Amino acid sequence: MNHGRTVLAQILDGLAGKEFARCAARYPMPRDTPALSPYDHFATMIFAQLTYRESLRDIEACLRSRRSVLYHSGIRGEVKRCNLAYANEHRDARVFADVTTVLMRRAQRLYGAEPSALSLDGDLFAIDATLIDLSLALFPWARWQGTQAAVKLNVMLAVSSDLPTFCTLVAGTRHDVHFLDEITIHAGSYFVLDRGYVDYARLHRFTAAKAWFVTRAKSNTSFYVCISRPVDEQTGVRCDQTIKLNGRQARRDYPEPLRRIRYYDTETQLTLVFLTNNFDLSALTIALIYRHRWRIELFFKWLKQHLRLRGFFSNTPNGVAVQIWTALCAYLLVAITKQELALPHSLHEVLQVISISALEKIPLAELFAKLDTTKTMFDIPIQLEINGF
């Protein structure tokens, strides 16, 4: 039953208030703003993400017009441009990074029953990074290269659920490969990476942890073949070899054998060369595992198309980080809602419905209920009769 609570408040139920309070308590502001509490700040930024607000003035105008329902949306403070601007600049973005971590854990628990991709005996994770473009004129601190500015979002995505499990936000100039130093590697899991992550010392961490990786080989890889296995070329596999690295530094970083697979993709008409430390799966399965890396590209595309990651409400590094982390929180909250209500709709459809109903007082289940009126009996009154014609 809906006790006068808005759709926004029901979406925010995906995060327990006590969990948010613990995250906010870790990073107190030097001078807090009583008019806009940490939770009010968070709820307002989620509202902006879900409803595609363009500016702080836009946010203030929309919430002011519906002031009577703000209390029932979880927003108890006074949302003004100046309060939001100050909070975005001074409230530590690590508060929202920690909230994102809490939501990722809850979402993973809810989606834990999703079947593993390719029926693997372990979880499959895709690792990649995306640049979030900024204007160099407005964000001179984010210079990336030449006249471009950007920050980089690193993500480890669970392929079975399309949910992020670990994220970091770094400068655009930081190399992708450093992200491998920060992730937790679980034994028996599978990790698929692009060739930008080929660093043999870091890849050896997967082998030492008894986990599996699949990546693309660089064109200048120096190696010699130890074993060459027969292949069925009709499947697209051109060769399946056990190799050892040639270079002195490469042998020191990765002293063990690697498996090299050359595969011809008939759809893209490209020949791809894979490296993996797994010698048990078929060569075709290894190629299919790498194809699932595309899921993380679709995840990045979804974020940038459907959430506020283009225009930013603040020009400061902290303000940009707050907006990116709250975009991830909005994605996770919508995913949690979809799973809890067992909605058959796509995540995009759920977001679209929420975006036009965020401040409506209606139960979420009723909002997404399909009403079939084809068999409904109607009591239609007798219409006026037109006489004299």
Condensed to tens digits (0 to 9), the pLDDT of residues 294-318 reads: 999 999 999 999 999 988 999 999 9
- Structural domain count, the chain: 2
Domain extent at residue 252: 208-281
Contact between 59 and 36 (Cβ < 8 Å) = no
What confidence category does residue 1 fall into, taking pLDDT thresholds of 50, 70 and 90? very low
Q: For residue 116, what are the contacts with CB-CB under 8 A and spacing of at least 6?
A: 122, 123, 124, 160
Longest dimension (CA), the chain: 104
Amino acid in the structure at residue 169:
L
251: closest CA among 201, 194, 206? Answer: 201
Confidence class for position 277, pLDDT limits 50, 70, 90: very high
Are 17 and 89 in the same domain? yes
Looking at the fold, whether 227 and 267 belong to one and the same domain comes out as yes
Write down the pLDDT at residue 119: 83
Taking 80 as the threshold, does the pLDDT of residue 344 lie above it? yes
pLDDT value at residue 131:
96
For 162-186, the pLDDT digits (tens) are: 999 999 999 999 999 999 999 999 9
Model confidence band, residue 191 (pLDDT cutoffs 50, 70, 90): very high
Average pLDDT over residues 141-148: 91
Domain membership of residue 298 (yes or no) is: no
276 lies in some domain: yes
From residue 246, how far is each of 45, 206, 249 by CA, in Å?
52, 20, 9
| Residue 242: per-residue pLDDT | 96
**How many other CB atoms sit within 10 Å of the CB of residue 177?**
16
Q: How confident is the model at residue 255 (pLDDT cuts 50, 70, 90)?
A: very high
CA quadruple 357, 360, 362, 363: dihedral positive or negative?
A: positive
pLDDT of 380 reads 44
**Lowest mean pLDDT segment, chosen from 14-23, 104-113, 361-370:** 361-370
Whether residue 322 is found in the same domain as residue 265: no
Q: Residue 339 domain-assigned? A: yes
Here the CATH number for the domain that contains residue 242 is: 2.20.25
Does residue 62 sit within a domain?
Answer: yes
pLDDT of residue 59: 92
pLDDT above 60: residue 383:
no
Is residue 49 within 8 Å of 324, Cβ to Cβ?
Answer: no
Nearest residue to 33 via CA among 25, 42, 41: 41
Element (H, E) at 60: helix 56-65
pLDDT score at 370: 61
pLDDT over 50 (residue 244): yes
Residue 129 within a domain: no
- 307, 327 Cβ separation under 8 angstroms: yes
- Output the CA–CA distances (angstroms, integers) from residue 209 to 33, 174, 176, 181, 241, in the order listed: 46, 25, 21, 13, 23
What digits encode the pLDDT tens for the residues 65-120?
A: 888 888 878 888 888 999 999 999 999 999 999 999 999 999 999 998 777 768 88
User: Do residue 254 and residue 318 come from a single domain?
Assistant: no
| Residue 121 within any structural domain of the chain | no
13 with 90, same domain: the answer is: yes
In a domain, residue 111? The reply is no
pLDDT of 2 strictly over 70: no
pLDDT tens-digit readout, 133-144: 999 999 999 998
Tell whether 353 is covered by a domain.
Answer: yes
Q: Provide the pLDDT for residue 384.
A: 43
List alpha helices for 122-209, DSSP H.
Answer: 200-208
| pLDDT band, residue 368 (cuts 50/70/90) | confident
Give the pLDDT of residue 177: 95
